[in-house]
Chains A and B, each alone.
Chain A
Amino acid sequence: MFTTPAERTAWRQRIFGPLDDAAFNAAALELFAWQFAHCKPFQLLAKAREVSPKQIKSWRDIPAVPQRLFKEATLYSHPIKTATTVFHTSGTTTGEPGKQHLRRIDLYNATCVEGAKRASVLNDTQALHFLAPSPLAAPNSSLSAMFEFWREGWGNDDSQFWVEKGHLQLERLRRQLEQTVDPVGVCGAAFSFVHWIDTFSQADPLVLPEKSWLLETGGFKGRSREIDKAEFYEALAYLFGVKPDRIWNEYGMCELSSQAYARGPQGMHRTPPWARVLVVDPSTDREVAVGEVGLVRWIDLANVDSVLAIQTLDQAVREKDGFYLIGRLSQADPRGCSLTAETFHRA
């Protein structure tokens, strides 16, 4: 499975197609069985937790791999030499990056674009501006790769990456945006937008054409400057001349292939149909009730090359059809876009 382009295309068509609960469950259990057989650390963890593919009937019972394990083991379900792409997490306090190995980039490409399209982030061909380095400059950044897929699929000729030689080109981007007459999308790590706020807080605000939008990803944990989300969106809306509900948050990580999106300062995150999030109580390992706080656990059917179930230390409030992301636990290693933006790698 998942070795030939045809097998991967078939899987993509399966998970992108109609996916009711039963179909999701069947696909998840099938993928778990395959990864259990081929990914040694996943198998070791499952066995230690006395879980095997033959025993479980629900995707909810698939043991989740702690995100940290990506820093300490190779979580890859194929022979390691077959990996064609390796994404790195941003550095942490320990300085050891987590690595996501992909046999082929095809599924990541497809899920990045399809997920953003279904979330209505990408609607029309337009100029897309990225406060990130290009994939050529940052080949191990999953964020840069995702932005490049967006540019290829939905960006017009004015689209551009605005990090050169490790430096954000904010002045140049601003001049470009001042002249734009068509709607644009400006995307980047949250901390890159903080640089924008710090740089242009005293300047006249831009007035981007109607239907323009912004997309920020990650948070500020671990950095000296953290901003309340409402305040952050208010400042961005003012400085770019867009409505706050035209600002998106993307919640993803290098260890996953899918992303969740939330719109506006009070937006709830939703996953695409082929990925689900459980908000779990770490003391019981069970899903919390609606309205309660727990830790985010991903089940991502597109994450075929490593593991589909990942336990994060990100806190969220469970809702009926989504979740409100709170942020990373204070005891966890600083990770994510604060460091991402500084180092221009993807978390």
Chain B
Amino acid sequence: MTTRQRIARLVPLLKKFPGLGATSARELEQWIALELGSLDALETWKKYGPSQTRAVAPKTIYHVLAGNLAVSGQQSVLCGLLLGARNVVKLPSRGGDDLICFIEMLPAPLRQLVTVQTEFDVEALKSADAVIAFGRDETVAEIRAQTRWDQLFLGYGLQVSVIWLGAVKKVTPALVAAVAHDICIYDQMGCLSPQAIFLEPGSKTEVFGEALTEAMTREIARLPKVERSAEEFGVIFETIDTARGLGQRVWTARSATNATAGAVILDPKPQFRFSCLHRVIRLHEVKATQLPQALDVVRGKISTLGLAGKLTPTLEKVLLPLGVKRFCRVGRMQHPPISWHHDGRPSLADLVRWVDRD
């Protein structure tokens, strides 16, 4: 099966799984060409300086997936399938249903390239050419420790995303709707989900907080209902009541049944704090120049920085040393193009090896 044939077979799934980040064959083709130099780099020799080269995909990839968000697992398997690799998928202990659904919907020739496991299989891991692991940093480190020295390993550990709005002098419906979307769509379960919002001191922060909560209520009503566990409710209310006990302003978003479905907390400390997730987010006032201190606790761990305005050279100078890997407009944080680098690295190119000839 050629790359083009695999793409043709994958296209019907793209529309069913919009979180993958591509909707057409053309986007997949462009992505492969961007990363591998040409669409048929896996099938033909290409000019490479004075010589020729071609890409060789790993024969087998062992994927260890996390349960927080199905889309990251789907994308991982998609990468393997595009390259024509055989994929052994270790499902997360919880939250693997959407991934199984994705795999079951694959056309038969591609479905044959995927094996699902519920238990971690060290032998399968060691016999794979490449290993892709998602999870907590400790989990990724443990998996890496079990790989062979000559095995290709791609680890995706903890990453967080934040929003920088700058000076908000006017709170527009478009702005709060965009931010509410980024917060709500995946229940803040992914590394692209914003966990905190920073604004310049002097902004209309309280107006923004209230309007954002109303926008979140609207967004929650629009999105499919999230079935909350007792655990999730427990940590949500713990966070809200802790903020209340500290005298912080708390606005709550409501569900269709008028239950608490999210919250915005105005935190006077100009420092990032991890959210309890599940549509709970803190607002912090901080000067742009103080962002390095505010984000120091997640230095090197920032996936996406959502912006309300443009990425100015001044902002770039402040934020690049923090290890930010993506900048994008608010409202688009959860929908990056499929070609964007994953934690700063190319998703496909990192999986292949190159064979040269004269």
Which chain A residues have a beta carbon within 8 Å of chain B's beta carbons?
40-42, 44-45, 48-49, 63-69, 72-73, 281-283, 285, 293-295, 311, 313, 315, 329-332
Tell me the chain B residues, 229-258 only, with Cβ under 8 Å from chain A.
230-238, 241-242, 244-247, 250
Are B238 and A68 in contact (CB-based, < 8 A)?
yes
A51 to chain B: closest CB distance in Å? 11
Are A283 and B242 in contact (CB-based, < 8 A)?
no
Interface size bucket, B side?
10 to 19
Contact A332/B230 with A41-B246, A66-B241, A69-B246 known, Cβ cut-off 8 Å = no
B1 within 8 A of A: no
A334 to chain B: closest CB distance in Å? 12
Are B234 and A44 in contact (CB-based, < 8 A)?
no
Contact A283/B231 with A65-B241, A65-B245 known, Cβ cut-off 8 Å = no
Query: In the complex, A332→B236 CA distance in Å?
Result: 11
Listed from nearest, the 8 A-B pairs whose CB atoms lie closest are A282-B233, A48-B244, A41-B245, A45-B245, A66-B238, A283-B233, A69-B245, A282-B234
Q: List B contacts of A295 (CB < 8 A).
A: 230, 234
Are B234 and A45 in contact (CB-based, < 8 A)?
no
Are A44 and B238 in contact (CB-based, < 8 A)?
no
Closest residue of chain B to A47, judged by CB? B244
Contact A66/B230 with A48-B250, A282-B237 known, Cβ cut-off 8 Å = no
Q: List B contacts of A293 (CB < 8 A).
A: 230
Pull 22 A–B residue pairs with CB atoms less than 8 Å apart, ordered by A: A41-B245, A44-B244, A44-B245, A48-B250, A64-B241, A65-B241, A66-B241, A66-B245, A69-B245, A73-B246, A281-B230, A281-B233, A282-B230, A282-B233, A282-B237, A295-B230, A313-B235, A313-B238, A315-B230, A329-B230, A329-B234, A331-B231
Query: In the complex, A336→B276 CA distance in Å?
Result: 20
Q: List B contacts of A66 (CB < 8 A).
A: 237-238, 241-242, 245
Tell me the chain B residues, 83-108 only, with Cβ under 8 Å from chain A.
none
Contact A332/B235 with A44-B246, A294-B230 known, Cβ cut-off 8 Å = yes
Known: A68-B242, A72-B246, A329-B235. 20 other contacts (CB 8 A): A41-B245, A41-B246, A41-B247, A44-B244, A44-B247, A48-B250, A65-B245, A66-B241, A69-B242, A72-B245, A281-B230, A281-B233, A282-B234, A282-B237, A283-B259, A285-B237, A295-B234, A313-B234, A313-B238, A331-B232
Are B246 and A283 in contact (CB-based, < 8 A)?
no
B225 within 8 A of A: no
Query: In the complex, A295→B228 CA distance in Å?
Result: 15
| B231: contacting residue among A44, A69, A73, A330, CB under 8 A | A330
Query: In the complex, A330→B234 CA distance in Å?
Result: 11
Closest residue of chain B to A285, judged by CB? B237
Q: List B contacts of A68 (CB < 8 A).
A: 238, 242
Q: List B contacts of A285 (CB < 8 A).
A: 237
Query: In the complex, A329→B235 CA distance in Å?
Result: 9
Q: Is the interface of B mostly helix, strand, loop or mixed?
A: helix
Contact A331/B234 with A48-B250, A283-B228, A283-B259 known, Cβ cut-off 8 Å = yes
Query: In the complex, A63→B247 CA distance in Å?
Result: 15
Query: In the complex, A330→B231 CA distance in Å?
Result: 7
Closest residue of chain B to A93, judged by CB? B274
Q: List A contacts of B247 (CB < 8 A).
A: 40-41, 44
Q: List A contacts of B241 (CB < 8 A).
A: 45, 49, 63-66, 69, 311
A287 to chain B: closest CB distance in Å? 14
Are B234 and A332 in contact (CB-based, < 8 A)?
yes
A331 to chain B: closest CB distance in Å? 5
Query: In the complex, A201→B232 CA distance in Å?
Result: 39
A280 to chain B: closest CB distance in Å? 10
Most buried by A among B230, B234, B238, B276: B234
Query: In the complex, A283→B229 CA distance in Å?
Result: 9
Q: List A contacts of B276 (CB < 8 A).
A: 331
B12 to chain A: closest CB distance in Å? 37
Query: In the complex, A331→B247 CA distance in Å?
Result: 25
B345 to chain A: closest CB distance in Å? 28
Most buried by B among A41, A64, A69, A283: A283
Closest residue of chain B to A295, judged by CB? B234
